[in-house]
Structures are given as structure tokens and as C-alpha cells.
Amino acid sequence: MFYCKKLVFNVPLFQNMPIALINTIIFSLIQVLYMPGEVVVKYGKPGSSLYLIASGTVAIMNSEGKEVGHLKDGAFFGERALLKPGTPRSATIVALEITEIYKLNHLQLQACLQPCPRLKRRLVEENSQAERRPRVRRGAQPE
């Protein structure tokens, strides 16, 4: 649980949230193992989940299938689709080695936020503001 807490706190969306809510989110995470070469998400497909990389490395592939970077331990992706389910994926993500990922989908997040309507509204507002800013991905390493 301690390591998952560290992964969750890496996501700016979850920083400054009450610890009780963070714990609820942590207990909602689903652990998934991906084998080398396995596609985690596919470009253009609708998404609804956030992915937190506990261990391993994934490649970021652009729409043409060209590798444009890597994400490693502690990195995350999919936060936009978490708040706006159905958002098309902006890249294909492929495991380069055995990769342990914790996944949180939109419905799980909504269940976690059920007892906190003000916080839920704040997240929606922050997401709207974030969509207007350029995206910066923590942990991405260009090729």
C-alpha cells in the first residue's frame, strides 16, 4: 500500500486530496502485469483509465507507430481519459519488459468521489483548466 500511495501522489490530479480519499483510491487500484511487446493502450481507441507504472518500462508510440519516448517506474498516463471517458488515446503504449501497472478507471474514481461532491466538482473544474494548458508528462524520456 505504501508504494501505491507514492504512485498516486505522483499524479498532480491527486495531490492535495484528503488522505482518506487517497486511501480509497489506492484500494480501488487494479494490478495488471504486461509482458514484453504487449499493447497497454492503442492510439485512437477510447480510453477511461489512468495507468500508474509500478515497475518496468513502456514505449510511447505516436500515431504513425514511431517510438517517441519511454515511461518507467513511477510514471503515469491516461489521466485525461480518467476524467473524460471516451477520450481517444493520444498514443499507443507498449510494454518493453515485464511491466507492473496499477489501473484506475473512471467508474472506480466516481465511486471513490461519491462521498465528496465538492471535491468531485473541483476535479472537473481543474481538468477543464488543464485541458487549456500544454501537456507535460512526468517521467517521459524522449528517444
Question: How many beta carbons lie within 10 A of that of residue 87, not counting itself?
Answer: 16
Asked whether residue 139 carries a pLDDT value surpassing 60, the answer given is no
Domain count, the chain: 1
Q: Under a CB-based contact definition with an 8 Å cutoff, are residues 11 and 71 in contact?
A: no
- Containing domain of residue 57, as a range? 2-142
Asked whether residue 72 carries a pLDDT value surpassing 60, the answer given is yes
- pTM, two decimals, is 0.84
Asked whether residue 104 carries a pLDDT value surpassing 50, the answer given is yes
Q: Under a CB-based contact definition with an 8 Å cutoff, are residues 86 and 68 in contact?
A: no
Asked whether residue 136 carries a pLDDT value surpassing 70, the answer given is no
Alpha carbons 20 and 10: distance in angstroms, whole number: 17
CATH of residue 88? 2.60.120.10
Which of these, 84, 88, 121, lies nearest to 105 by C-alpha position? Answer: 84
**Confidence at 77, pLDDT banded by 50, 70, 90:** very high
pLDDT of residue 127: 64
In this prediction, residues 34-42 reach a mean pLDDT of: 98
Asked whether residue 142 carries a pLDDT value surpassing 50, the answer given is no
pLDDT of residue 131: 60
Asked whether residue 70 carries a pLDDT value surpassing 50, the answer given is yes
User: Pairing mode, if any, of strands 141-142 and 67-71?
Assistant: antiparallel
